[in-house]
Amino acid sequence: MQSNEIRSRFLKFFEERGHKIVPSSSLLPENDPSVLFTTAGMQQFKPYYTAPQNAQKDFDSKNTTSSQKCVRTSDIDEVGDKTHLSFFEMLGNFSFGGYGKKEAITFAYDFITKELGLTISYVTYYEGAGFIPADEKSKKIWEEIGVKDVRKDGSDVFWGPTGDSGPCGPTTEIYCKNASGEDVEIWNIVFNEYFCDGSREKFDKGEANLTKLETFGVDTGMGFERLLMTENKKDSIYETDLFEQVMSLIKEKAKNYNEKSARVVADHLRSALFMVSDNSIPGNKGSGYITRRLIRRAVVKASGLGLSDDVFGGILDKFVEKYKDIYPKVNNDIVRQEIKKEISKFKESLEQGIKEFNKDTDPFILATTYGFPIELTEELANEKGLKINREDFDKKMVEHQKLSKTASVGMFKGGLLNDNEKTIKLHTAHHLLLAGLQATINQNIKQKGSNINEERLRIDFLCDHKLTDEEKKKIEDWVNDKIKAKLNVVHKEMSLVDAQKIGAQMEFGAKYKDNVSVYFIEDDKGNQISKEFCAGPHVKNTSELASVFDPDGNPKGNFKIIKEEAVASGVRRIKAVLL
Ligand code: SER
């Protein structure tokens, strides 16, 4: 059976048994701000377990069924094996006082064995703990139905709650064999008998309380892709019709094929497609950061496979084709563009970033300058048998965020390249301006202070006179020439001694550590027109500062001084913008 048929047979099976079919909710949960993504089918139904009377009102039934889009970030590292996915669909049936254990178990048994003709390998039931009794009732029901292998299990088969609090309870799980004879968990039937007033973490630590729910609830979840794999007698989810075409495309185009990397590329791009279509746009925070991480990890794996850029579009198109009738939101050019935009942003710095990584560059620089999510750097380090000092990274990141709030250093609200695009451009313009002042006014001009926000840059510098209009024009022309000249911005880390030897600019009066980060602006021949002590981030090429281009695509100069004034005796201040 193909994916579409299994999905609709499931929904129909439960519709025929008194369940209302409810469409999947968004991947971004609407009624539970304490979780980033929807991780289970029950999430959209969470409020009904404590207020079951509303189910009848809202669904005209006490029972519902759905195929829910889910993302589980805890499984990201396992993606690439036969069964783990970062995005998956969950088939489920739910009841808010409509039926009990007997019906729930019988429905599941009938669907698996009669509707799909599969054999159940074994089932589990909860062994009990503290005041929660063992689920002997479920055990008995399974045995009466005729399942021979019924196993007692521990806390793994007590489910929930999701988020900060919510319904939870014992579960009974169904295992079937995949094509290689391995047992795979395919269905989880939760009996929501309790309400937990804290998170699962707190509950496990004994810091949350359980109370008995007034109404008995049922919440089942069956991983759709795993079911499909099992029903199709395939060895892995990537061999099912959902992935088949994408996997062959990757195989065909890869220069160095590797099954695991290919699976990661396929999985992550499929997840990104669904996430972006639900408005989780690649970014620095919250769910957007996960989308970004997945896309960037896919890009790194794709580059290892030797895939060219056009393959990304092909992969996305194949997924869109597969899903557009079920989840029409994925079929949207804007969604594809957002993903491609994120891919190309990252590609710009990927090669250099990998080089820097191989030079053991600080993960903080990799994140802020090259856009490498820390988790990606950690993974790359793991592959080389190295360990990243996460504590040091987190500390620097916090420091970075603090600094961004102070006037003297700047400007970067933490995180990855391109989120503060305007500020980053102005930062590079700031370096050009200092070099321009030295080149056109006086070689010995020193920086005394700086400040950059999204609108303008500000530099304070030591200078003995008020700049004339002519001098200001000269400086502007000098900087604009450098924008037009498309100069590379290159980052190096070196010892303070070496940096001083080569005459890198440092702020007058500032203190530096033994190892420093230096940014160079140089032409193709390596002639340096600017070298400054700086933590970054910067653009990769001065042409990125331009917003206007001539018909041949060459950047036009857009740097403009808007103010020049005195701030103290012998100290002048310039404010400038990029038009
Ligand atoms: N909530 C349970 C799970 O996610 C059953 O749907 O496994």
pLDDT digits (tens, 9 = 90+) for 268-322: 999 999 999 999 999 888 899 999 999 999 999 999 999 999 999 999 999 999 9
Ligand 1, CB cutoff 6 Å, lining residues: 40-42, 92, 159, 188, 190, 219-221
Which atom of ligand 1 is found nearest the CA of 221?
6
pLDDT at 407: 29
Among 42-56, 404-418, 546-560, the minimum mean pLDDT is found in: 404-418
Region 206-222: mean pLDDT is 96
pLDDT digits (tens, 9 = 90+) for 322-372: 999 999 999 999 999 999 999 998 998 888 889 889 988 899 889 888 889
Which atom of ligand 1 is found nearest the CA of 189?
5
* Residue located nearest, by CA, to atom 3 of ligand 1: 221
pLDDT beyond 70 at 409: no
Instruction: Using alpha carbons, list the distances in angstroms from residue 93 to 12, 147, 513, 539.
Output: 11, 21, 61, 51
Region 66-76: mean pLDDT is 91
Q: From ligand 1's centre to the CA of 242, what distance in Å?
A: 22
* Spacing of C-alpha 178 from chain mean position: 30
Judged on CB neighbours under 10 Å (0-12, 13-18, 19+), 527 is exposed
pLDDT beyond 50 at 419: no
pLDDT at 410: 32
Among 43-57, 147-161, 381-395, 418-432, the minimum mean pLDDT is found in: 418-432
pLDDT at 403: 57
Which atom of ligand 1 is found nearest the CA of 40?
4
Judged on CB neighbours under 10 Å (0-12, 13-18, 19+), 418 is buried
At 509, the pLDDT band (50, 70, 90 cuts) reads low
* Element housing 23 (H / E): none
- Nearest-angstrom CA–CA distance, 41 and 192: 14
pLDDT at 523: 84
pLDDT at 428: 94
- Per DSSP, what are the bridge partners of residue 189? 172, 220
* Residue located nearest, by CA, to atom 4 of ligand 1: 40
Instruction: Report the percent of the chain where pLDDT is more than 70.
Output: 96
Better-predicted residue by pLDDT, 406 or 445? 445
At 413, the pLDDT band (50, 70, 90 cuts) reads very low
- Nearest-angstrom CA–CA distance, 262 and 121: 30
pLDDT at 74: 82
At 414, the pLDDT band (50, 70, 90 cuts) reads very low
Out of 219, 222, 224, 226, give the residue to mutate to test ligand 1, the one with the largest number of ligand atoms within 8 Å of its CB.
Answer: 219
- Nearest-angstrom CA–CA distance, 266 and 250: 8
Out of 37, 45, 90, 124, give the residue to mutate to test ligand 1, the one with the largest number of ligand atoms within 8 Å of its CB.
Answer: 90
- Nearest-angstrom CA–CA distance, 120 and 210: 32
* Spacing of C-alpha 288 from chain mean position: 6
* Residue located nearest, by CA, to atom 6 of ligand 1: 221
pLDDT digits (tens, 9 = 90+) for 111-120: 999 999 999 9
Q: From ligand 1's centre to the CA of 94, what distance in Å?
A: 10
Q: From ligand 1's centre to the CA of 89, what distance in Å?
A: 12
Out of 159, 175, 222, give the residue to mutate to test ligand 1, the one with the largest number of ligand atoms within 8 Å of its CB.
Answer: 159
pLDDT at 475: 97
Mean pLDDT of the residues in the chain: 91
Which atom of ligand 1 is found nearest the CA of 160?
1
pLDDT at 189: 98
pLDDT at 406: 40
Q: From ligand 1's centre to the CA of 150, what distance in Å?
A: 20
- Pair 282, 295: CB distance under 8 Å: yes
